[in-house]
Structure 1
Amino acid sequence: MRNAGLGGWPARRAQMSPNRTAFVFADRSVSYSEVHERTTRLASRLRDAGVRAGDRVAYLGHNHVAFAETLFATHLLGGIFVPLNFRLTAPEIAYMLTDSGASLLVYAPECSAVVRALPALPGLRTVVALGSPAPGETEFESWLSQGDPTPIDIPVALDDVALILYTSGTTGRPKGAMLSHANLVWNCFHMLIGVDVASTEVTLVSAPLFHVAALNQTLLPTFLKGGTSVIMPSWDVDQCYDLIEKHRVTWMFGVTAMFAAFARSPRWAHADLSSLRTLMSGGAAIPVALIRAYQERGLTFCQGYGLTETSPGATFLEAGESERKVGSAGVPVFFANVRVVRPDLTPAAVGEPGEVLVQGPNVTPGYWRNPEATAAALTEGGWFHSGDIGVLDDEGHLHIVDRVKDMYISGGENVYPAEVENVLFEHPAVAEAAVVGVPDQRWGEVGRAFVVPRAGAAVTPGDLREFLLSRLAKYKIPVYFDIVGALPKTGSGKIRKPDLRGRPLAAGTEAGTEE
């Protein structure tokens, strides 16, 4: 087989384990042999539509088996897959389709209104609908079924670009991070090493697949090993409990908001979670109090650290260290290197905050058609500047402190919002918290906390301030507290802090004193 990339995986898996279940979606199970046949037929239809090596194929929709089929079919032809955030508006989607130069779009019914609102895009030649197509569009299933099942073997090199993943766009226009087939393969190796992924793995894919973690940390490693991916269309706490019990799920990934909601459920205390072997989180530091809640439930909780640009795994805390090093993001994954440096790029001392740099075969070759951004992010030797602040302890474990851009300076002292959020999360009435720096005439900047109370709980700014006083230095305690119903989030579940910084101080926002 001349295809060294992901496009060859369905054929290889079908040869090794044809009758094993690759995907479960709703009441449907799909074997590896079926995945191979369907992706081959779909690839032939993409080829008929003019897709060639290097061409971009976009997908817009909730998690679905068709997402994986479109990815593998695109890679079978040597094309580049562009997963899009289904929470975005038509102008945002139009920008990404134009910037990537996508010639074909597959979309799901829940995104039909957005697709209908797209302006005319000259480069977008074919639009395929999973649901009822509009005039000029094609219906996915009937189109696929008419495809040619004859095997396709087009040369694809590991260094060829496989994905363009657009960043969340929390500041300015989103950038398209390129990931090669080699990036994805090496990341899978890291997961197989760090999690001991088994051929009998039953993985719950509950985070959005357009996000690098759900795709590269769960679905692809599970497929590579011949396990089963149980795909949730979107996150739902009760459905998560149901699927874990029904399919005896062994492994799942989530972000803080997902794991917090799961632990707040009335089902938490009594649900049968005995099948779960590994729970995994990454993307942002997760409060230690939340990790402890899972450990007290008898569950193994492993945290990692990474970014879209690192495919994403850069560090990982393996199960054996998950209790002793709780709160740590672990050590560098097996084939990568991680440094923590000062602004002059000299190594930070043990316990000294600095920027996290990552080097290895999992690191992006750069940003799509954006050489300036690539040059700014990648320094000599292929070190990627993460923009995150971390510290290394005396055993080389990484602890993520915050984003460089989220840190603020109050009265000459650095304040890391993630530290304050961690402490706020320990309050029994707090479900979620986000802290940002806001201008202050006296101190330069002070903290403003946005707090979501737990269901049925009441909390006041005074309660929170009193709680923090015995736990944090006074300069770290927010001056303003907003009690809110929800926090704005990106498609990957991260809190959109620029949205919070832009909110004017409103009635009910309580200010304290700074000493």
Structure 2
Amino acid sequence: MSVTASRAGRPEVVPWPDELAERYVARGYWEQRPLGAYLDDAAAGRPGTICLVDGDVSLTFAELVSRVDGAAQRLHGLGLRAGDRVIVQLPNCWEFVVIALACFRSGVVPVMALPAHRRQELTAIARLTEARALLVAGTVRGFDHEQLAHEVAAAVPGLRHVAVTGRRNRPDSLDLVALCAPAGDTSARAAAPDPGDVALFLLSGGTTGRPKLIPRTHNDYAYMMRTAARICGAGPDTVYLAVLPLAHGYPMAGPGILGTLVSGGRIVILASPAPQRALAAIAEHRVTMTSLVPAAVIRWLDHLAGSPAADLDSLDLVQVAGSRLPDEVAARVTPALGARLQQVYGMAEGLLCMTRPGDPDAVVHHTQGRPICPDDELLLVDEDGTPVPIGEPGILLTRGPYTPLGYYREPELTAAAYPPGGWYRTGDVVRLRADGNLVIEGRDKDLINRGGEKIAAEEVENFAHQLATVSQAAAVAMPDPELGEAVCLYVVPRAGSTVTLAQVRDVMREAGVAAFKLPERLELVDSLPVTAIGKVDKKALRADIARRRHP
């Protein structure tokens, strides 16, 4: 495996030990092929078959491959070479698919930013990765991503190119649609990247406004994508509806758009999971599979309860992940949608668990599945690191052939999250049943899971402390019927002062923070509870807000 070396001589990407890499190759998990090769295989067998639909845009496999080759050539023409990083901040659109595959083809490494990220997150990501280009939409829902991209480029040396979909308002922006035009010469491909190289960076929540970067190699990502596709039964007849943000690993490769394409299937792209449009798309395109988060499932079920039933006969499998799906909601999915439910639990850092088609309701309704690989190892421990018995809740540690061993350029954070032995400490509290399925119980880390988006409590607290009227602040997860968790901020005001939720949110907006991190509720208190050793007792605060929400 190639490893990028830092100026200090330390690896910036932690490699798998040779003995593990050899084992994963010998057992067939790593096929030693770059991601682009799998698309070529699918296209060779079905060149004239439509494989991508996005509104008025329909592409056959041959047309998709031609655009991927064209984009790869034009990235090279911009001076981008294998190993160079580009930030991809695009909404759900066909250009996202073409650019991602073009990067995989050429060895350029896409950094998958979220459309909700703003100046603070994008600037931090660009500096950390030394990104050379930033690919964005134009104006979306009134927000000018093009202008923001140029502000980031001005602040980050080496970020030379801004490419924009749709209408461009500045002459120094590149036309991303033209960048994705078909290739003039499909024989002029650059050398394929090494399968052990980093293929892409996924993002995980950070504590200081800078998301952690998770390096995923061609080998490990291809294994996860292929295995998820096999478990879900993806093939040439699969029509996958992509409604969640494609920059997340779940709708991208669990099996998502990539797993569907390499299986010879078709992807249909929508901007959001809004039920009226999504359910109409299922009927129009004869969708067979989709991926949702619990909040979207609830909206779909509520919509169907008050509207005439849509034609959902084609829908066979509905995946749900991102946060714990309430058992009572899980039981409503199949009767309402007429499709099988598959619960999914995973993380950008690697591990992927799924219930299996054919599992009994007792598993599908009440668990979040089991690992996809025989070499996925699970270890549940208590707060002292002592293993807990099967059936007892414990903090989950894992390791396996698609769980990387560290964050990019973050030795301190890597040391904290990756104990000795190649384990990754997920921060999730789970129960392991005797049948091998996991039940998610909560978190042990100070992290809030808002509809699948991870928010560091410390980041919210730091912004609250920028107000002179705030003496103490503590952010905690608050139960939410749709999102699973939302952000509640407890504040102790300074004597004689008042603090409002609007003031805190304004501070965060002015700093250019992603909107999903803004607190939804403010609780003013005289003091914060503390533990025996003097730390703020977040457990007590979470229990308090749960009582206030559901007295």
Please indicate the TM-score interval, normalised by the length of the shorter structure: 0.7 to 0.9
Q: Residues 134 and 149 of structure 2 are in contact (CA less than 8 Å); yes or no, is this contact kept in structure 1?
A: no
Deviations 1:56-89 (A, max 9, x none): 1221121111111111111211121112111122
CA distance in 1, matches of 2:61, 2:95: 14
AA matched with 2:148:
V
CA distance in 1, matches of 2:133, 2:548: 54
CA drift of 1:259 comes to: 0.8
Aligned counterparts, 1:92-171, within 5 A: 92-109=121-138, 110=140, 111-118=145-152, 119-133=154-168, 134-145=170-181, 148-151=184-187, 152-169=189-206
Which structure has more relative contact order (CA 8 Å, sep 6+)? It is: 2
What SS does structure 2 have at the residue aligned with 1:12?
Answer: helix
Deviations 1:364-397 (A, max 9, x none): 2421111222222223332211000001122222
Aligned counterparts, 1:398-417, within 5 A: 398-405=438-445
AA matched with 1:124:
L
Match of 1:182 among 196, 200, 219: 219
CA distance in 2, matches of 1:350, 1:406: 25
Aligned to 1:342: 382
- 1:222 matched to 2:260? The reply is yes
CA distance in 1, matches of 2:32, 2:515: 36
What SS does structure 2 have at the residue aligned with 1:238?
Answer: helix
Q: Residues 3 and 154 of structure 1 are in contact (CA less than 8 Å); yes or no, is this contact kept in structure 2?
A: no
- 1:499 matched to 2:511? The reply is no
Aligned counterparts, 1:402-481, within 5 A: 402-405=442-445, 421=479, 434=485
AA matched with 1:499:
P
- 1:70 matched to 2:99? The reply is yes
Q: Residues 61 and 86 of structure 1 are in contact (CA less than 8 Å); yes or no, is this contact kept in structure 2?
A: yes
Pair 1:271–1:145, CA change in 2 (3 A): closer
What SS does structure 2 have at the residue aligned with 1:399?
Answer: strand
Q: Residues 305 and 329 of structure 1 are in contact (CA less than 8 Å); yes or no, is this contact kept in structure 2?
A: yes
CA drift of 1:187 comes to: 0.8
Aligned to 2:11: none
Aligned to 2:430: 390
CA distance in 2, matches of 1:355, 1:93: 31
Q: Residues 35 and 218 of structure 2 are in contact (CA less than 8 Å); yes or no, is this contact kept in structure 1?
A: yes
Task: Identify which range, 282-291 or 370-379, moves more after superposition.
Answer: 370-379
Q: Residues 105 and 192 of structure 2 are in contact (CA less than 8 Å); yes or no, is this contact kept in structure 1?
A: no
CA distance in 2, matches of 1:201, 1:221: 10
Match of 1:305 among 336, 342, 345: 345
Pair 1:189–1:10, CA change in 2 (3 A): closer
Aligned to 2:282: 244
Q: Residues 491 and 523 of structure 2 are in contact (CA less than 8 Å); yes or no, is this contact kept in structure 1?
A: no
What SS does structure 2 have at the residue aligned with 1:210?
Answer: coil
Aligned to 1:34: 63
What SS does structure 1 have at the residue aligned with 2:52?
Answer: strand
Q: Residues 488 and 523 of structure 2 are in contact (CA less than 8 Å); yes or no, is this contact kept in structure 1?
A: no
Pair 1:130–1:494, CA change in 2 (3 A): closer
RMSD: 3.3
Q: Residues 123 and 155 of structure 2 are in contact (CA less than 8 Å); yes or no, is this contact kept in structure 1?
A: no
Aligned to 1:448: none
What SS does structure 1 have at the residue aligned with 2:48?
Answer: coil
Task: Identify which range, 174-183 or 432-441, moves more after superposition.
Answer: 432-441
% same residue: 27
Gaps of 5+ in 1: 409-416, 426-430, 442-487
Match of 1:356 among 396, 416, 438: 396
Aligned to 1:261: 299
What SS does structure 1 have at the residue aligned with 2:149?
Answer: helix
Pair 1:494–1:138, CA change in 2 (3 A): closer
Task: Identify which range, 318-327 or 200-209, moves more after superposition.
Answer: 318-327
Aligned to 1:211: 248
Aligned to 1:296: 335
What SS does structure 2 have at the residue aligned with 1:351?
Answer: coil
CA distance in 2, matches of 1:126, 1:352: 52
CA drift of 1:406 comes to: 5.7
Pair 1:504–1:162, CA change in 2 (3 A): farther
Q: Residues 194 and 318 of structure 1 are in contact (CA less than 8 Å); yes or no, is this contact kept in structure 2?
A: yes
Aligned residues: 443
CA distance in 2, matches of 1:379, 1:340: 13
CA distance in 2, matches of 1:359, 1:35: 35
Deviations 1:212-255 (A, max 9, x none): 11111111110110100101123322110110000111100011
AA matched with 1:40:
D
Q: Residues 113 and 247 of structure 2 are in contact (CA less than 8 Å); yes or no, is this contact kept in structure 1?
A: yes
Q: Residues 239 and 265 of structure 2 are in contact (CA less than 8 Å); yes or no, is this contact kept in structure 1?
A: yes
CA distance in 2, matches of 1:390, 1:511: 23
CA distance in 1, matches of 2:414, 2:57: 42
- 1:21 matched to 2:57? The reply is no
Deviations 1:111-168 (A, max 9, x none): 2243244343221112212123312122123344485433314142222101112224
Q: Residues 244 and 273 of structure 1 are in contact (CA less than 8 Å); yes or no, is this contact kept in structure 2?
A: yes
Pair 1:135–1:3, CA change in 2 (3 A): farther
Gaps of 5+ in 2: 1-30, 449-475, 493-508, 527-544
Aligned to 1:327: 366
CA distance in 2, matches of 1:5, 1:338: 28
Pair 1:97–1:11, CA change in 2 (3 A): same
AA matched with 1:135:
P
CA distance in 2, matches of 1:283, 1:170: 20
CA distance in 1, matches of 2:94, 2:447: 40
AA matched with 1:278:
L
Pair 1:319–1:504, CA change in 2 (3 A): farther
CA distance in 2, matches of 1:396, 1:502: 40
TM-score normalised by length of structure 2: 0.73
CA drift of 1:322 comes to: 5.0
- 1:287 matched to 2:326? The reply is yes
Q: Residues 280 and 310 of structure 2 are in contact (CA less than 8 Å); yes or no, is this contact kept in structure 1?
A: no
Q: Residues 406 and 436 of structure 1 are in contact (CA less than 8 Å); yes or no, is this contact kept in structure 2?
A: no
Match of 2:238 among 183, 201, 204: 201
Pair 1:67–1:513, CA change in 2 (3 A): closer
Pair 1:332–1:142, CA change in 2 (3 A): closer
Q: Residues 356 and 389 of structure 1 are in contact (CA less than 8 Å); yes or no, is this contact kept in structure 2?
A: yes
CA drift of 1:171 comes to: 6.2
